[in-house]
Amino acid sequence: MARMKYTGKTVLRMLTLFIAVSILSFLLLEASPVDPMTAYIGTDSTFSEEAKEEILRHWGLNEPPVKRFFKWAWNFVHGDWGESITYKKPVKTVIAERLKYSLALMFAAWSFSGILGYAMGILAAVRKGRLTDKLIKTFCLALQSAPTFWIGLLSLSLFAVHLGWFPIGLAAPMGKAAEEVTISDRIYHMILPAFTLSVLGIGKIALYTRQKFIEILNREFILYAKAKGESMGQIVMRHGIRNTLMPAVTVQFASFSELFGGIALAESVFSYPGIGSALTAAGLGGDVPLLLGIAVCSAAFVFAGNLTADILYLALEPRDGSFVH
Amino acid sequence: MKKCNTRTRVMIYIGFASVYLLGIFFWGLFMPESGYDVNYADKLLPPGSGHLFGTDFMGRDMLMRSVKGISVSLLTAALAAGISSVIALAFGVTAAVFGGRLDSFVNWCVDLFMGIPHLVLLILISFMLGRGAKGVTAAVAFTHWPELTRVVRAEVISVRSSQYVRAAYKMGKSRFSVAWGHVIPHVLPVYLVGVILLFPHAVMHEASITFLGFGLPAEEPAIGVILSESMKYIAMGKWWLMLFPGLMLLLAVMLFDIIGENLKRLWNPDSGNE
C-alpha cells in the first residue's frame, strides 16, 4: 500500500514538475531578444508593414504572453506543436523523424556504457588496491573529465581520418538514396557517435559499481563464503552480481539527463541528423517552436528515466516498502 | 627519504594542482594579444620547436591560444562558482532551517532545474540573453546550484538534529552561538569542497556550449571556439589543432577534481587517521 502511495505521489510530483518545465522554457524563450519575425523572414526582407502585421496576427504574436502560453499548451496537448522555422516542417514531424536516430544512438551508447562500466567496476573491486584497480580508476576519472565533443573529435581524427575504419559523419553514405540505405549502413555510421556518447557514462557507472562491490565484499557473508571455499569467481557470480546489478541499473536510468545533453554534442561533431543537432540548429536559428518542443521532450525523457529508476528501486527493495515516508 | 604520510601527499597534490591552474589563469589573463597574432607565413605548422602546439590556419600559435582560452574558461567558471554557490548556500540553509513548506519548495525548485538536461537549460538561457559572451556566462553561472543546494541542505539538517546541538540549546546557548560554534564548522568544509567541485562542471559546460556556437564570437580564443574551428581541419589530417587544446581542457578539469577530492579527504574527520 505504502508502495502504491509512494509511486502515485512520485508520478504526481513529476507531472507538476513537467508543467513547470514547460512554463519555465516558455518564459525563457519569451524573454529572448531574438525577434521571431526577423528569425522567420530574415533581416533584409522586402515585406510590407501590412504583410508583417498579417504574419503577426496569423501567429498571434501580438497577444499577451499568458494567453499565448495557454494557447500553445492547448495546441500542444492536442498534437499541434507548431511549425519549425529552420526546417519548414511541423515541429512534431521534425522531432519524430529525428528521434528515432537519436533513440537508436542513445540506446546503443547507454547499454554499451552500462555493460562495459559495470564489468570494469567489478574487475576493479575484485582487484582493489592492485595495479588493475588503479589503472581502471585513473582511466574512469579521465573519462569523466573528458568533454564529450573532444572525445568525438579525437575518435573522428583517429578512427575515421587516420585509420579510415569509419565514415566521417552523417547517418548514411552520402549520395545514396534513402530507400537503398541498409541497416548495416546505419549501424556502421552509428558506431563512432555511439562510442563517443558512451564515454560519458562509463566512468560514472564503473566507479559506482566498484564502490558498491567493495562494500559487499567486506560483508560477513562473503567471509563465510570464502571460509566455505568458494572461489572469487563463484563469489562474484553468486553474491556480488546479485547484490549490485540492480542498484547499478537504477543509477544508469537516472543518467538520462546527461545522455540527452551528450547527444547534442556528439551529433554536432558527427553531423548526425538526430534531435541533438536539431536542438543546436534551433537555438542558433532562433527557432522558438522547435526549441520549445525539444525542451519539453527532453524533460519528458529525463522524467521517464527518473521514474523508472524510482520504480525499479522500490520494486526491487527486498523490504516491504513500509520504510517509505 | 622518509615516506610521506597521506596528509603531506595530499597537500603536495593540492599544491601542484593549484599552482598549475593559477599559473595558466594569470598567464592567459595578462597575455598581450600579440601572443597569438595572425601570421600567414607560418600557417598550419605541425607542432615543433618554434610552436610547441603548432599553428592554426591563420598562423596563430596554438599554445598561446589554448592558454588564453583556458584562462577565459576559468574566469567564467569562477564567476559560476561564485554566483551558484551563494544561491546554493541561501537555498540550502533556508530549506534546512525553516523546513516545512519552504523546504518542499526549495526541493521542488532543485528537481525542476535538474529535470531539464543541463545542456538544454544552458541553451535556453543563453538564447534568452541573446547568445554571445554574456549569455553563456550567465547561463553557466545560474545553473550550477541545484546539486550544491542538496548537499548543503542535507548537511545542515544532519547537524541540526544531532545530539550535541540539542544539548547546546538546552544549555541555554543562543541560536547565533550554536550556528557559529557547531553548524558552520561542520557545513563549511563540505560546502567549500562542493564549490571547488563545481569548477570542473562549469569549465566543461562553458566549453561545450561555446563549441556548439552559442558563446563567444569566432575571433575570441575560447577553448570551445578553438575546438569547433579545428573540426574543419580534422579531415585534412591537422590533428594537433584539436589534440593539444583538448588535452589542456582535460587536464584543467581533472586537476580541479583532484583538488576537490583531496580536500574532501583532508577535511573529512573520518579519514583523518588513514
Give tens-digit pLDDT for B199-245: 888 988 988 888 888 877 767 778 888 888 888 777 777 778 788 88
Question: B207 touching A, CB under 8 A?
Answer: yes
Q: Which three cell numbers stand for residue B228?
A: 569547433
Torsion (CA) A214, B197, B112, A261 in degrees, nearest 10: -80
CA distance B243 to chain A (A): 7
The DSSP symbol for B42 reads G
**Looking at the complex, does the CB of residue B77 fall below 8 Å from at least one CB of chain A?**
no
Strands (E), chain A: 83-84, 89-90
- Asked if B249's CB is within 8 angstroms of A150's CB, the reply is yes
The distance of A72 to chain B (nearest Cα, Å) reads 18
Query: Nearest C-alpha of chain B: how many angstroms from A201?
Result: 15
Please indicate whether, in this complex, the C-beta atoms of A31 and B128 are within 8 angstroms of each other: yes
Asked if A264's CB is within 8 angstroms of B116's CB, the reply is no
Asked whether the beta carbons of residue A261 and residue B243 sit closer than 8 angstroms, the reply is no
Q: Which residues does chain A have within 8 Å of residue B239's beta carbon, measured at their own beta carbons?
A: 157, 161-162
Closest by CA position to A255, among listed A100, A118, A110, A149: A110
pLDDT at B1: 46
Give the integer Cα–Cα distance in Å for A259 and A86: 24
C-alpha cell at A193: 557517435
The shortest CB-CB distance from B116 to any of A147, A284, A299 is to A299
Residue A152 included in any domain: yes
Which residues on chain A are in Cβ contact (under 8 Å) with B131?
284
pLDDT by residue, tens only, chain A of 325 residues: 666 777 788 788 888 888 888 888 888 877 776 666 666 666 666 667 777 777 777 666 667 777 778 888 888 878 778 778 778 888 888 888 888 888 888 999 999 999 999 999 999 998 888 898 999 988 888 888 888 888 888 888 888 877 777 777 666 666 666 666 677 777 778 888 888 888 888 988 999 999 888 888 888 888 888 898 888 888 888 888 888 888 888 888 888 888 888 888 888 888 888 898 888 888 888 788 888 889 888 988 888 888 888 888 777 665 554 444 3
Chain B hits for A296, Cβ within 8 Å: none
Query: By the CB < 8 Å criterion, does B150 face chain A?
Result: no
**pLDDT at res. A318:** 58
Minimum CA–CA partner of B117 in chain A: A257
C-alpha cell at B106: 526549495
Looking at the complex, does the CB of residue B112 fall below 8 Å from at least one CB of chain A? Answer: yes
Q: How far is CA A291 from the centre of its chain?
A: 16
Q: Mutate which of A143, A145, A197 to disrupt the B interface (most B C-beta within 10 Å)?
A: A145
> Is there a contact between A144 and B124 if contact means CB atoms under 8 Å apart?
no
> Interface pTM (ipTM) of the complex?
0.82
Q: What distance lies between CA B34 and its chain's CA centroid? A: 28
A29 closest CB neighbour out of B117, B128, B230: B128
Within-domain flag for A175: yes
pLDDT at position B41 = 67
Contact A145 B257 (CB under 8 A): yes
Residue of B nearest to A293 (CA): B120
- pLDDT computed for residue B224 by the predictor: 83
Return the residue of A nearest to B115 by Cα: A299
B227: nearest CB among A21, A150, A260: A150
Distance from CA of A174 to the nearest CA of B (A): 16
- Contact residues on chain B for A258, CB-CB shorter than 8 A: 117-118
CATH of B6-32+51-272, one of 1.10.569.10, 3.40.50.720, 1.10.3720.10, 1.10.800.10: 1.10.3720.10
Q: Which of A32, A38, A258, A302 to mutate to test the interface with B (most CBs of B within 10 A)?
A: A32
What residue ranges of chain B have pLDDT lower than 50? Answer: 1
pLDDT of residue B165: 86
**What is A244-273 written as a DSSP string?**
HHHHHHHHHHTTHHHHHHHHHHHHHHTT--
CATH number at residue A123: 1.10.3720.10
Q: Taking the model in full, what pTM does it have?
A: 0.83
Handedness of CA B216, B221, B223, B227 (dihedral sign): positive
Å from A238 to nearest chain B CA?
A: 32
Q: Please, which residues have CB within 8 angstroms of residue B227's CB and are 6 or more apart in sequence?
A: A149, A150, A153, B207, B211, B242, B245, B246, B249
Domain count of the fold of chain A: 1
| Residue A283 structural domain | 91-316
B127 touches A at CB < 8 Å: yes
Query: Within an 8 Å CB–CB cutoff, is residue B19 touching chain A?
Result: no
Cα–Cα dist A47/A253, whole Å: 50
- Minimum Cα–Cα distance from A305: chain B residue: B115
The residue extents of the domains of chain B are 6-32+51-272
Assigned domain for A246 exists: yes
Gap between the Cα atoms of A184 and A187, Å rounded: 5
Q: What is the pLDDT of residue A321?
A: 46
